[in-house]
Every structure is written in structure tokens, then in C-alpha cells.
Chains A and B, each alone.
Chain A
Amino acid sequence: DIQMTQSPSSLSASVGDRVTITCRASQGISESLAWYQQKPGKAPKLLFYGASRLQTGVPSRFSGSGSGTDYIFTISSLQPEDFATYYCQQYYRSPVTFGGGTKVEIK
């Protein structure tokens, strides 16, 4: 199975800050990477697919990039509603696998 390693596992930032989360795959995944947002007690929500393609309706302050084994998720200006846990997921090879998550807390 492809292992997905996310970092950091948690972070605390202020409204307006730029936030960056990284996700590393144990092998190249050809940008077959998705990012999800999960708020407490809620279902995950798909934000990105293809590493950088924004899902319809997702605010443009979110962005994704990367290739090969290394991927980055960025929130350009953190908003209070962005308090959540973010997960990366590879879908290059079965079984799909997720990173361990990054909990974003608002200072």
C-alpha cells in the first residue's frame, strides 16, 4: 500500500495567516492526490482533486500543488471557518490511502 505522510499533525494560526500543509507519498502518485476538510462531528468534504484542481464552490483562498511524491496544501488567508482537520488522499493505486490529518486551530 502507498503510505501518505502529512505534516504537521497540528498547527495553530491567526486569522489572516498563510497556512501550509505538506503530504508526502511513499512512491510517486502522478498528482492523483485529493485534499479533504473535516469539521468536528461532520463528514469529510472534498476540496481538491488532481493535486491542484479546486472542487466547485471551494473558496479561492485554498490552493494545492505538487508532483511526484510531494504535495502542498495552502490557505492563503486563514478564516475562522477554516478551523478543521485536513486530510490528503492518494488515488493512484488501490487501496486508496489517507494521510494522518492536520488539525488547524485558530489562535
Chain B
Amino acid sequence: EVQVVESGGVLIQPGGSLRLSCAASGFSVRDKYMSWVRQAPGKGLEWVSVLYSAGSTYYADSVKGRFTVSRDDSKNTLYLQIDSLRAEDTGVYYCATATGYPSTLDFWGQGTLVTV
């Protein structure tokens, strides 16, 4: 069964840093295009970043230079490092699988809440 579980969301002061994790099971993160999508409280969905299966990374302009996506194949886990946090970064962060980019986001985790 495909499953992704996000963790690492916290209440944090502006300017701080944190790392979100997305632990996968039922598939290998290295075989998928893995995206992060966020949702501010009461708002819609905003794509944030993607990590290609080959290792390339892309980011939304709103987070470029502050967010870094990576993965640890041995732990089958995707990460999102967030630096220089701002109030507008507050929201639920989801990781989602895809077979390409740009593409549909096929399977999503339950999300982790970041409050700045």
C-alpha cells in the first residue's frame, strides 16, 4: 500500500529554520517525482517544490532561495528544509507523488502544520 507520512511541523518564530520530512512506504521515493504543496489556513493549494527522480529540483518563485528539497534513498524519505521563515509560510505542508512534472499529483500525505 502506498503511504506517505509528513512530520516536522512546529510553531516557530519568524526568521527560524526547520526541516519537514515525508516518509514513504509502498514505493521508492527515488522512482517518483515528489512534490511539496502547501495550504495556508482557510486558503487554497500552492505548489512549492519538486524533486525529480533523476535529482533535479525546482521551486515556486515565492520560496526560491529559502526552501531546499532533498531525499534520503536509504530512509525512503523526502525532506523540505525551510530557512528564513516568514508569517506567510504558515500552513499545512503536503508531500505528493507524481510520475512526472508538470503532472497530476497522484497521492498525498495527510500534511504537517507549520505555524510562523
Q: Which residues of A contact B (CB under 8 A)?
A: 32, 34, 36, 42-46, 49, 87, 89-101
Instruction: List 17 interface pairs A-B (beta carbons < 8 Å), by A numbering.
Output: A34-B104, A36-B105, A43-B108, A43-B110, A44-B45, A46-B105, A46-B107, A49-B104, A87-B44, A87-B45, A89-B45, A89-B105, A94-B102, A95-B58, A96-B101, A96-B102, A98-B47
- What's the minimum C-beta distance from B47 to chain A, rounded to whole angstroms? 5
Q: Tally inter-chain residue pairs, CB-CB below 8 A.
A: 54
Query: In whole angstroms, how far apart are the Cα atoms of A95 and B103 in the complex?
Result: 10
Are B47 and A95 closer than 8 Å at their CB atoms?
Answer: yes
Are the CB atoms of B44 and A99 closer together than 8 Å?
A: yes
B91 within 8 A of A: no
Q: Is B79 an interface residue (CB 8 A)?
A: no
Q: When each residue 19-51 of chain B gets 1 if its CB lies under 8 Å from chain A and 0 otherwise, what string results?
A: 000000000000000010000000011110000
Closest to A49 in B: B104
Instruction: Specify the chain B residue showing the minimal Cβ separation from A98.
Output: B45
If A43-B110, A44-B94, A87-B45 touch, whether A95 touches B60 (CB-CB below 8 Å) is yes
Smallest Cβ distance from B103 to chain A, in angstroms? 5
